[in-house]
């Protein structure tokens, strides 16, 4: 069976890169926050629209007719009408597609007036029927007027059904579901599309050693904000719709667990980036390179870490684990650095946060996923090594659990904020501003995830800055500027609310 092709300039060149034939239920989450178009007006198109609307910002169904009711079941028409982020463009057809490496725009033509409009688009799903590939079968195999195989009660008198192969013998001819008359598959999986050749063979960006982790796709490249989802996604999952708009994202929809790796998640990470969640099983050594006023490195943190390894009788081998070159942020005084990933050692738990001997090296339980835009993987062995004991010794054991307060992000978020503030309160003269910026970034991540509101986090940071003497010496305006810079670095749009 072949899906009917849409004849429009640009579509074939973008096949698998934003243009798809057949429903994409297994990849819907990859289009979180996007505007997706569906060409087709039958049931398969309606089902695809309802499914995609759980993740996409907007879904537009494009049909040549003047009503969905002509070819779609009424229950689907009603559900589409009740879904706020699905709209229907009638008397319209796809005239062209364009984009560099991936779909970026569609040109839609009004079949009544002939006018055209070019609109931004992240994906086009074409569901305009299928053509059976059964003409190679012998004439004795009964088919309908369209070429679909007839089975069961649909067989005409004297017709022959598809031969049933002997038990345990390999089937040579089988009336697979897509060849039944009037039926189309509800989903086209990544694997089947790869077999058909519409998905080009390519290397995945997430290293194999990390694909067992969980991931949070991001809204846009360079922004840490999780991909947004519609309120309908929570309703469809049987969850209450969060009252706080910042919580309506993939991270919250999955109960802060993230998504398992799939080729579609990998494709999203390649395009827009994502966060990798360790969940206690992975540890990221974030090696920063702070810059001096003249743009030169203040400290070679990688060399410092390497020297500590040698002094302990070990070795910092970036080729033995997943190591990533990070882009840095020159505008905020940070040059390119390194991310080095390890497996956690259950027998040797470690304290997360900046190392006491060098605050430019920080151990984290999560971080930007390798392969995200700007995060080039330099080494990716098949297996991830356990965190070296010399590095665990530099970090020290974790502190005792702290009591937590309530908040719209729950106890885990407040526990993390408590730990961040606790570390900030240990700052000594000469490092207070740097640690305030660090604490603002980490608290900003909680805000960007939707676990804390900006005002609460900013108030806690300001109070801590007052306790270490920064408010009194630098003034409230300077402290607020540092907190705002850290929030923006973490992807909080508009900075903190005071």
Contact call for residues 119 and 106 (beta carbons, < 8 A): yes
- Listed in sequence order, the residues at least 6 apart from 1 whose beta carbon sits closer than 8 Å to its beta carbon are 130, 131, 132, 133, 178, 179
- Give the span between the Cα atoms of 433 and 474, in whole angstroms: 10
Please determine, for residue 402, whether its predicted confidence score (pLDDT) is greater than 70: no
Contact call for residues 55 and 79 (beta carbons, < 8 A): no
Residue 155 has a pLDDT of: 61
Please determine, for residue 172, whether its predicted confidence score (pLDDT) is greater than 80: no
46-55, 129-138, 224-233, 365-374: least confident range? 129-138
Please determine, for residue 202, whether its predicted confidence score (pLDDT) is greater than 60: no
> Around Cβ 334, how many Cβ atoms within 10 Å?
18
- Listed in sequence order, the residues at least 6 apart from 114 whose beta carbon sits closer than 8 Å to its beta carbon are none
- Rg of the chain over Cα atoms, rounded to whole angstroms, equals 27
Contact call for residues 129 and 182 (beta carbons, < 8 A): no
- Listed in sequence order, the residues at least 6 apart from 12 whose beta carbon sits closer than 8 Å to its beta carbon are none
Please determine, for residue 228, whether its predicted confidence score (pLDDT) is greater than 50: yes
Residue 185: pLDDT band (50, 70, 90) is very low
Reading the block at residue 35, the tokens are: 């505007």
Percent of the chain past pLDDT 70, that is, above it, reads: 81
Please determine, for residue 176, whether its predicted confidence score (pLDDT) is greater than 70: no
30-34, 190-194, 216-220, 267-271: least confident range? 190-194
Mean pLDDT computed over every residue of the chain: 81
For the stretch 319-359, pLDDT in tens is: 899 999 999 887 667 889 999 999 999 999 998 888 888 88
Residue 77 has a pLDDT of: 92
List b or e across 448-464, with b for residues whose CB sees 16 or more CB atoms inside 10 angstroms: bbbbbbbebbbebbbeb
The candidate with the shortest Cα–Cα distance to 51, out of 80, 17, 18, is 80
**For the chain, how many residues are written?**
498
Helix orientation angle between 411-424 and 432-449, rounded to the nearest 10 degrees: 170
- Give the span between the Cα atoms of 293 and 103, in whole angstroms: 42
Residue 359 has a pLDDT of: 84
How large is the average pLDDT for residues 467-478? 87
Residue 134 has a pLDDT of: 66
The whole-model pTM stands at 0.55
Contact call for residues 288 and 333 (beta carbons, < 8 A): no
How large is the average pLDDT for residues 401-414? 51
Residue 408 has a pLDDT of: 44
Contact call for residues 415 and 402 (beta carbons, < 8 A): yes
How large is the average pLDDT for residues 58-69? 93
- Give the span between the Cα atoms of 328 and 323, in whole angstroms: 15
- What domains can you pick out in the chain, each with its CATH number? 2-129 (3.50.50.60), 203-398 (no CATH), 403-498 (no CATH)
Please determine, for residue 496, whether its predicted confidence score (pLDDT) is greater than 80: no
- Give the span between the Cα atoms of 91 and 111, in whole angstroms: 5
Highest-confidence range of 107-116, 217-226, 350-359, by mean pLDDT? 107-116
Please determine, for residue 314, whether its predicted confidence score (pLDDT) is greater than 60: yes
Residue 137 has a pLDDT of: 66
Residue 192: pLDDT band (50, 70, 90) is very low
How large is the average pLDDT for residues 260-269? 91
């Amino acid at each position: 069976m072949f899906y009917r092709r849409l004849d429009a300039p640009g579509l074939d060149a973008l096949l698998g890169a934003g243009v798809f034939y057949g429903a994409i239920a297994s990849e819907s989450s990859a289009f979180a926050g996007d505007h997706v178009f569906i060409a087709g007006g039958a049931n398969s198109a309606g089902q695809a629209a309802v499914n995609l609307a759980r993740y996409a910002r907007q879904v537009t169904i494009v049909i040549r007719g003047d009503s969905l009711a002509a070819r779609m079941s009424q229950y689907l028409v009603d559900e589409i009408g009740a879904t706020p982020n699905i709209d229907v463009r009638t008397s319209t057809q796809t005239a062209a597609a364009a984009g560099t490496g991936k779909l970026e725009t569609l040109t839609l033509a009004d079949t009544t007036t002939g006018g055209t409009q070019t609109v931004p688009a992240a994906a086009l799903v074409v569901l305009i029927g299928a053509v059976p590939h059964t003409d190679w079968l012998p004439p004795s195999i009964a088919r309908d007027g369209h070429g679909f195989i007839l089975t069961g009660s649909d067989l005409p008198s004297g017709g022959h059904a598809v031969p049933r192969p002997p038990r345990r013998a390999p089937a040579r001819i089988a009336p697979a579901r897509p060849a039944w008359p009037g039926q189309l598959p509800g989903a086209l999986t990544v694997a089947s599309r790869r077999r058909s050749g519409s998905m080009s063979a390519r290397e995945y960006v997430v290293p194999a050693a990390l694909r067992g982790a969980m991931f949070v796709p991001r809204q846009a490249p360079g922004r840490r904000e999780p991909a947004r989802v519609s309120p309908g996604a929570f309703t469809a999952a049987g969850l209450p719709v969060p009252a706080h708009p910042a919580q309506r994202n993939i991270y919250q929809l999955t109960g802060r667990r993230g998504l398992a790796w799939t080729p579609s998640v990998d494709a999203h990470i390649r395009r827009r980036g994502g966060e990798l969640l360790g969940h206690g099983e992975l540890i990221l050594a974030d090696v920063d390179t702070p810059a001096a006023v003249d743009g030169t490195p203040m400290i070679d943190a990688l060399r410092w870490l390497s020297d500590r390894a040698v002094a302990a009788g070990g070795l910092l081998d970036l080729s033995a684990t997943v190591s990533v070159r990070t882009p840095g942020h020159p505008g905020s005084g940070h040059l390119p650095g390194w991310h080095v990933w390890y497996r956690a050692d259950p027998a040797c738990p470690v304290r997360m946060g900046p190392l006491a001997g060098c605050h430019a090296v920080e151990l984290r339980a999560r971080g930007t996923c390798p392969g995200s835009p700007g995060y080039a993987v330099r080494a990716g062995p098949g297996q991830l090594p356990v965190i070296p004991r010399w590095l665990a010794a530099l970090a020290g054991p974790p502190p005792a659990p702290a009591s937590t307060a309530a908040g719209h992000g729950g106890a885990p978020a407040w526990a993390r904020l408590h730990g961040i503030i606790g570390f900030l309160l240990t700052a000594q003269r000469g490092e207070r501003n740097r640690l305030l910026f660090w604490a603002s970034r980490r608290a900003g991540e909680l805000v960007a995830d939707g676990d804390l509101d900006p005002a609460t986090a900013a108030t806690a940071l300001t109070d801590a800055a007052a306790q270490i003497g920064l408010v009194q010496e630098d003034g409230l305006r300077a402290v607020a500027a540092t907190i705002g810079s850290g929030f923006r670095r973490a992807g909080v749009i508009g900075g903190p609310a005071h």
